[in-house]
Amino acid sequence: ERMAAPDRLPPGARLFVADVLGDNPGVAPARLRALLGDPVAATEMLGGGKAEELFAQTYRKLVLSPGAAAAYRAFVETAADDRARPVLFHCTAGKDRTGWATALLLLMVGASRDVVRAEFLAVNPVVRAAFQPYVQGFLDAGGDPEIAAAIIEVRPRYLSIALDAMDERWGGLDGYVRDGLRIPEPVVERLRSGLVVSARPAPAVVGT
């Protein structure tokens, strides 16, 4: 992916690679454009509801894979470093690997799962627009619209699979951060102090 579409860095930026799927290089999120470019192969691989299931299971890998854990640990440590911010982070589509990274940051700074879910799903209109030419070509060549939708969209089930994997393996966020990602508590504290702004109390109004 990085060879096919290398980053174009703005002046002063430093490239940092956190290779989430390095030990699972053939999974679907790393092959979106290839799948959309070959309707026959996509139907064989992803037809009959297999597309959603494949992506759902990839979300388990995002949480359970040792390589993914190392990548997300490095990502969180970078985001917690005030010398590194602002941080622009992305993957090829900006929805799966990036989606879990965003969910993780939000959870670590105290967002509720309802808020995380809403933010996770909010990417769909942008992703649909970005991939519309590829999807249209896929459909024009006889591709299954359901396969295209499962490939391009994020769905509530995808995030639920990741959260369930986190809960089942580590008993929730704290265990995942501590034992799964092995992020030291001082890093967690720096992340929260750097990214959380306390709301100022409303000024008192005195009637006369």
Task: List, for residues 130-159, the tens digit of each pLDDT value.
Answer: 989 988 998 998 989 998 898 889 999 999
| pTM score | 0.87
User: Which has more pLDDT, 52 or 35?
Assistant: 52
Task: Count Cβ atoms below 10 Å from residue 139 Cβ, excluding itself.
Answer: 15
Average pLDDT over residues 61-69: 94
Question: How much is the pLDDT for 93?
Answer: 86
The reply to whether CATH 3.30.413.10 applies to domain 32-194 is no
> Closest by alpha carbon to 6, among 90, 67, 70, 86?
90
Residue 126: pLDDT over 90: yes
Average pLDDT over residues 93-102: 94
Q: Is the peptide bond before 86 cis (omega within 30 degrees of 0)?
A: yes
Considering the candidates 80, 91, 93, 106, report the single residue annotated as catalytic.
Answer: 91
Question: How much is the pLDDT for 45?
Answer: 81
Question: How much is the pLDDT for 206?
Answer: 65
Question: How much is the pLDDT for 99?
Answer: 96
Residue 35: pLDDT over 80: no
Residue 161: pLDDT over 60: yes
Distance CA(64)–CA(163), nearest Å, equals 11
45-81 b/e (C-beta count within 10 Å ≥ 16 → b) = ebeeeebbebbbebbbbbbbbeebbbbbbbbbbbbbe
Question: How much is the pLDDT for 29?
Answer: 55
Question: How much is the pLDDT for 200?
Answer: 72
Question: How much is the pLDDT for 30?
Answer: 55
Q: How confident is the model at residue 104 (pLDDT cuts 50, 70, 90)?
A: very high
Average pLDDT over residues 113-126: 96
Lowest mean pLDDT among 2-6, 73-77, 138-142: 2-6
The owner of tokens 């999120």 is: 29
Question: How much is the pLDDT for 42?
Answer: 81
Average confidence score pLDDT of the chain: 89
Q: For the chain, which residues make up each domain, given as ranges? A: 32-194
Distance CA(99)–CA(95), nearest Å, equals 5
Question: How much is the pLDDT for 173?
Answer: 97
Mark whether 5 is an active-site residue: no
